Amino acid sequence: MKELKFVDVGEGIIEGHVQKWLVHDGDAVKEDQPILQIETDKAVVNLPAPVAGIVKINTNENTDVKVGDILAYILDAGEVATFDKSKIASASPIQNQGSTANETQLNKPEQQKSAQSEANQHHDILATPAVRKLARDLNVDIAGIVGTGPNGRILENDIRSKTKAQTQSTSHVEKFSELLEEKHAHEIERISLSQTRKAIARNMEMAWTIPSAVHIELVDATSLYRIVHREKDKVKTELGIKLTFYPFIIKAVIDALKENPNFNASYDHETKEILVKKYYNIGIAAEAADGLKVIVIKDADKKSIMEIASEIERLGNKIKDNTITLDEMRDSTFTITNVGSLGGGFLSIPIINYPDVAILAVHLIRDWPVVEGDMIKIGKILPISVVFDHRVVDGADAVKFTNTFKRYIEDTDFLELM
């Protein structure tokens, strides 16, 4: 008999949601055959059978699970007749949340083993002695915290955020919901967050701790507009690729990042260091049915305009059909959000995609009067906003970065050479 447990399918994953079983209880499966869809941190993951055998399902669909929970058992043919899930000592915590009288009568060796296991669990946690001491001083259980540092390391900010959340949840939030439900008892509906919305909430809470500022600029995108509209039909017909403004914007961003490297970085709060990245993975905010997601164009500096356009289309289709993977949404170094693609809005101030240092918002290109010498003509103007981590870069740096980006977008020769 083999247990199919919910394991950490990606860095930092601690819980998931059983979305759909791809097999029925009692079905015969092959080794590595996908048998279950789990919704995790912004992605749906297919879990394969670890061995060939007969499936005995242990968790229902639409159930939340944590890492380590037993989802199913894979049995040999000879084990099916004698299989009794209730007698298995290692049954999933989901199916055995309560304790029986017999289970509470633990002898001393078992108690010592449990204590030792808990001690080992705390020992395995990535945190400095100073952070551990802070957790003890603030009466925070460090084992229940998901670290936001490298490799899941728990930082001082994580401890303080947990303390703040505990304080709010026991005072303001509870009081607010109690009063609201008392007043509108039959007019309130509680809706549980999906795994995607939970991930968005966590990321937004982390991003909100960043002391950020914004710089706004207007860019003359007349040449960009002309080139894209001149070439897009030809590219679609000859290459089958949808050409948009995005690949050119990404290329201009990369060159601006190379000239302003601190924007292609992360801030290590614990060591008070800037981690400047020598690779260029550009995140793109994407609208999905279940909430905002960020697809990542890996090594975008090494790709051509057409390769970037093709990658954007490929990943966009995976967002639409819900087959995007965690790896395809991770490890961004800088993020762009295209507000203009939604067809509205003049300017927006996006939230930084943690742990990036900055995010660029591009908006709807509009016809605006442009002054050239003594003449006024109609130009295609692109409003942009850059939100940045003020711990890492200053306003003057943001102006330099934005001016560099603007220079490339307004440079016809640069765009034509792409």
User: What pTM did the predictor assign?
Assistant: 0.67
What DSSP state is assigned to residue 269? T
Question: In the structure encoding, which two tokens stand for residue 107, read together?
Answer: 């002898």
The bridge status of strand 44-48 relative to strand 34-39 is antiparallel
Would you call 390 a catalytic residue per the annotation? yes
Question: In the structure encoding, which two tokens stand for residue 48, read together?
Answer: 């394969």
**What is the radius of gyration, based on Cα positions, of the chain?**
26
Q: State the number of CA atoms in the 13 A half-sphere of 35 facing the CB.
A: 30
Is residue 252 within a helix (H) or strand (E), and if so which, with residue range?
helix 246-259
Residue segments in the chain with a per-residue pLDDT below the cut of 50: 89-93, 95-123, 170-173
- Which residue shows structure tokens 């004698």? 82
Whole-number pLDDT of residue 19 = 86
Set out the domains of the chain in order of their start, with CATH numbers: 2-101 (2.40.50.100), 108-190 (4.10.320.10), 200-417 (3.30.559.10)
Contact 31, 50 (CB under 8 A): yes
The 10 Å Cβ neighbour count of residue 270 is 19
- Cβ-in-10-Å burial (0-12, 13-18, 19+) of 16 comes to buried
What DSSP state is assigned to residue 347? -
Amino acid residing at 412: T
Question: 237 phi and psi, to 5 degrees?
Answer: -70, -45
The bridge status of strand 273-276 relative to strand 265-268 is antiparallel
Whole-number pLDDT of residue 191 = 84
The C-alpha atoms of residue 154 and residue 268 are separated, in whole angstroms, by 12
Whole-number pLDDT of residue 46 = 85
Catalytic residue among 17, 269, 363, 390: 390
The C-alpha atoms of residue 9 and residue 7 are separated, in whole angstroms, by 6
The C-alpha atoms of residue 119 and residue 83 are separated, in whole angstroms, by 34
Whole-number pLDDT of residue 86 = 57
